[in-house]
Amino acid sequence: MQWLSFRIVSIGVCCLSLSWVLFARAEEPAEEPTEEPIEVQDVIVSATKTPQPASQVTSAVEVITGEEMQRRKIKTVVDALRLAQGVVAFSNGGPGTQASVRMRGASSAQTMVVLDGMIMNSPTDSAFDFANLTAENIERIEILRGAQSMLWGSDAIGGVINIITKRGTGKPTVGAFVEYGSFATIREGAQALGAKGPFDFSMSFSRWDTSNFSAVDYRRGATERDGFHNWQASSKLGVTLPKDGRLEFSLRWWNSDVNLDSAFGNSAFDVLGSKQTSRNLTLSGRYEQPITAWWSQKLTLAQTDQRILFSSGTLQRNLMTGVVDSPFPSPSDISILNHRVEWQHNIQVAKPLLLTGGYQFRDGQGNASTSFGSDQPKKILSSNAGFAEAQVNIVDRLLFTAGVRQDNYNVFGDATTYRGTAGYLIPETGTKFRGSYATGFRAPSLNELFFQNFGNPDLKPEKSKSADVAVEQSLFKNRLHLNVGYFWNHFTDQIVNVTSATCPPATFGFCPQNIQTSKSQGWEAGFQLALFKNFSLRGQYTNTQTKDLSNGHRLPRWPLHQASLFAGYQPIERLLVNVEYRYVGSRFNDAENTQRMSAFGVVNAQVTYDVTKQFQVYGRVDNLFNERYEEILFFGTPIRSVYGGVRVTL
């Protein structure tokens, strides 16, 4: 009943927004000029929680815009992240299966994901599953690499992925698309956005169905095909207040069903009837208001309500031995509730000095029916934190940031983190030198602390130290941008599952403990080229060396080499051709380094043709050369796949 209410709220907001668009368009006179869209591509917010020109950011950051994702016909956020610098993104099979993202040798549980001010990492395992987050109605994705706990808190050891929903601008417009292709895939959706007077809005609603993709690699003998069905809605409503104030409300909702297979150790299983249902409603509100000419404040309130239902299926077949038996684990029902409140103040002391301070409250609640069929009592992981940061800008050449943060948790006590960055700009040559040093931490998850017959309530937080240095260079009147940098991370008190006599008695000697120490280091390099108006080229290379210091092994699923290349060509105004290449080097699937996986390279291509200003047709080919590969051992990846669609804008 609760989720029926969520659906009604989501659909109601979308319908209300669409009605307002049609009314607003009818009210506008034909001769009213079109308002130019607000240009935000060169402003970064995540690095300091204040808007900064990209040229003055002293952190390692990359931006993927919604416009770019639309040109490339990207379906999901994880597909956009696959080509990013310093990022590893893998899926456990096809659409809708678990998708994890990591940065700079950190785990997915050590990589924070923020959606419109809401921290999306689950309190049950500290990670965010990207499987169901589609690319509709997203303005931009800011990827901030390196430890960011000083500003963002727990889970930000590897970095922060900040996802921002579109803000409506200009004359209200409505649009729709439909797409069909391989694996019996059909996608359709509608979007509306715009502004009128002090009000602005954007909204989208979409549906995605596919039915012929095997989660376990069909090349290993899997015969059952697994389906994925995803409903998704998104909306942002805003109002401009007097004296440069702003109030906005954001919503993202999805309801998805996916059929799953499984793999354990050296065996893969084709599972009949296994299914997972994910329901998520994320709500956030933000109020910004200058208090004086030199003092401003921002208040953020956010909540995520999630439910995950898992059915283990009826039968499973071991693809290695052919044995048919009953699936494991048994069904489960998990409910998750996250809250975040943050009140931030910015004070411009003088022209060179900006002080930022704030308070954050964050809690995560989990309630589960365990794999053994018994109900676990609801547990809460909560924290109160204060942070302060100083930004120094000396004549737009010499740049510094320094900050400290104190977190207090209800389960283990305090955690103190700090961060400092420095940069030097040479505008005459288009050169920027930058560097940073930071500490980070990750609080133990609810599962690690309290899971029945497994949790260890005596766990401490994981900790890290990290540093990076880099140089960025612009040439040919900013048509060519180059960057190269070195990074280093040292992780301590990492939580791993072990058999030990020091485990609590209820765990039967097997539990998580703070015993692992590891490190990562490497190089990142990239370029962007736009020498000609109708041709662009972009590429990146990342070298990531990881080591478990207890045994010398490489960390699992971390490739030593990773690279991507993207080319866009527009021979005529109406025609756009994109080609992208992704390379992932060899890696080990397991911590013992016994399951080596081969390197692979995949080429995708997209063609878009604007028949008119309102009507567009497009085609996309994934895995153009039919590369045979697996991102995670035993799990399926697409063969050559062809899709076509149309998009209408009014």
Asked whether the predicted pLDDT for residue 374 surpasses 70, the reply is: no
Structure confidence at residue 169 (pLDDT)? 94
**Average pLDDT rounded to a whole number, residues 422-437:** 97
Look at the block and give the residue holding tokens 């079109």: 34
Does residue 34 lie within any of the structural domains? no
**Average pLDDT rounded to a whole number, residues 632-643:** 96
Amino acid identity for residue 563 in this structure: A
C-alpha–C-alpha distance, residues 70 and 75, integer Å:
9
C-alpha–C-alpha distance, residues 312 and 291, integer Å:
55
Is residue 459 within 8 A of residue 444, CB to CB? The reply is yes
Amino acid identity for residue 627 in this structure: E
Asked whether the predicted pLDDT for residue 137 surpasses 60, the reply is: yes
Which residue, among 117, 121, 119, 85, has the nearest Cα to 100 in the 3D structure?
A: 121
Q: pLDDT per residue over 512-524, tens digit each?
A: 999 999 999 999 9
Asked whether the predicted pLDDT for residue 433 surpasses 70, the reply is: yes
The CATH number of whichever domain residue 229 belongs to comes to: 2.40.170.20
Is residue 461 within 8 A of residue 440, CB to CB? The reply is no
C-alpha–C-alpha distance, residues 451 and 334, integer Å:
12
C-alpha–C-alpha distance, residues 290 and 449, integer Å:
42
Is residue 62 within 8 A of residue 41, CB to CB? The reply is no
Q: Between β-strands 575-584 and 561-572, what pairing exists: parallel, antiparallel or unpaired?
A: antiparallel
Q: pLDDT per residue over 277-322, tens digit each?
A: 999 999 999 999 999 999 999 999 999 999 999 999 999 999 999 9
Enclosing H/E stretch for 446: helix 446-450
C-alpha–C-alpha distance, residues 269 and 452, integer Å:
26
Query: Half-sphere exposure of residue 268, counting CA atoms within 13 Å on the CB side?
Result: 23
Q: What is the CA radius of gyration of the chain?
A: 24
Asked whether the predicted pLDDT for residue 276 surpasses 60, the reply is: yes
Identify the band that residue 368 occupies on the pLDDT scale cut at 50, 70 and 90: confident
Identify the band that residue 241 occupies on the pLDDT scale cut at 50, 70 and 90: very high
Domain total in the chain? 1
C-alpha–C-alpha distance, residues 310 and 333, integer Å:
6
Structure confidence at residue 376 (pLDDT)? 64
Q: 498 has which bridge partners?
A: 511
C-alpha–C-alpha distance, residues 274 and 259, integer Å:
6
Burial of 309 (C-beta count, 10 Å sphere; 0-12/13-18/19+): middle
Does residue 42 lie within any of the structural domains? no
Sign of CA dihedral 559, 591, 156, 161: positive
E strand segments, 66-109:
87-91, 99-103
| Residue 466 tokens, joined | 């990290």
Domain hosting 245: range is: 2-29+49-649
Q: 8 Cβ partners below 8 Å, 6+ apart? A: none
Give this prediction's pTM. 0.92
Which residue, among 428, 432, 349, has the nearest Cα to 398 in the 3D structure?
A: 432
Q: pLDDT per residue over 547-582, tens digit each?
A: 999 999 999 999 999 999 999 999 999 999 999 999
Tell me phi and psi for residue 504, to 5 degrees.
-55, 145
Other Cβ atoms closer than 10 A to 492: 15
Q: 360 has which bridge partners?
A: 342, 385
Least confident of 40-44, 70-74, 118-122, 202-206: 40-44
C-alpha–C-alpha distance, residues 393 and 72, integer Å:
37
Is residue 19 within 8 A of residue 27, CB to CB? The reply is no
Does residue 35 lie within any of the structural domains? no
Asked whether the predicted pLDDT for residue 3 surpasses 90, the reply is: no
**Average pLDDT rounded to a whole number, residues 367-378:** 65
Does residue 37 lie within any of the structural domains? no
Does residue 636 lie within any of the structural domains? yes
Does residue 424 lie within any of the structural domains? yes
Asked whether the predicted pLDDT for residue 28 surpasses 60, the reply is: no
Is residue 195 within 8 A of residue 170, CB to CB? The reply is yes
C-alpha–C-alpha distance, residues 232 and 136, integer Å:
9
Does residue 394 lie within any of the structural domains? yes
Does residue 41 lie within any of the structural domains? no
> Cis link prior to 123 (omega < 30° from 0)?
no
Tell me phi and psi for residue 110, to 5 degrees.
-105, 15
Identify the band that residue 371 occupies on the pLDDT scale cut at 50, 70 and 90: low
Asked whether the predicted pLDDT for residue 31 surpasses 50, the reply is: no
C-alpha–C-alpha distance, residues 322 and 300, integer Å:
54
Identify the band that residue 7 occupies on the pLDDT scale cut at 50, 70 and 90: very low
3-state secondary structure 210-276: EEEECCECHHHCCCCCEEEEEEEEEEEEEEEECCCEEEEEEEEEEEEEEECCEEECCEEEEEECCEE
Least confident of 18-22, 264-268, 626-630: 18-22
Task: Compute CA distances 439 → 60, 148, 518, whole Å.
Answer: 15, 8, 15
Asked whether the predicted pLDDT for residue 22 surpasses 60, the reply is: no
Identify the band that residue 480 occupies on the pLDDT scale cut at 50, 70 and 90: very high
Least confident of 36-40, 161-165, 284-288, 562-566: 36-40
**Average pLDDT rounded to a whole number, residues 245-260:** 97
Share of the chain above pLDDT 90, in %: 86
**Average pLDDT rounded to a whole number, residues 360-389:** 84
**Average pLDDT rounded to a whole number, residues 599-624:** 97
Is residue 139 within 8 A of residue 200, CB to CB? The reply is no
Least confident of 148-152, 336-340, 452-456: 452-456
Task: Compute CA distances 619 → 184, 575, 605, whole Å.
Answer: 16, 12, 8
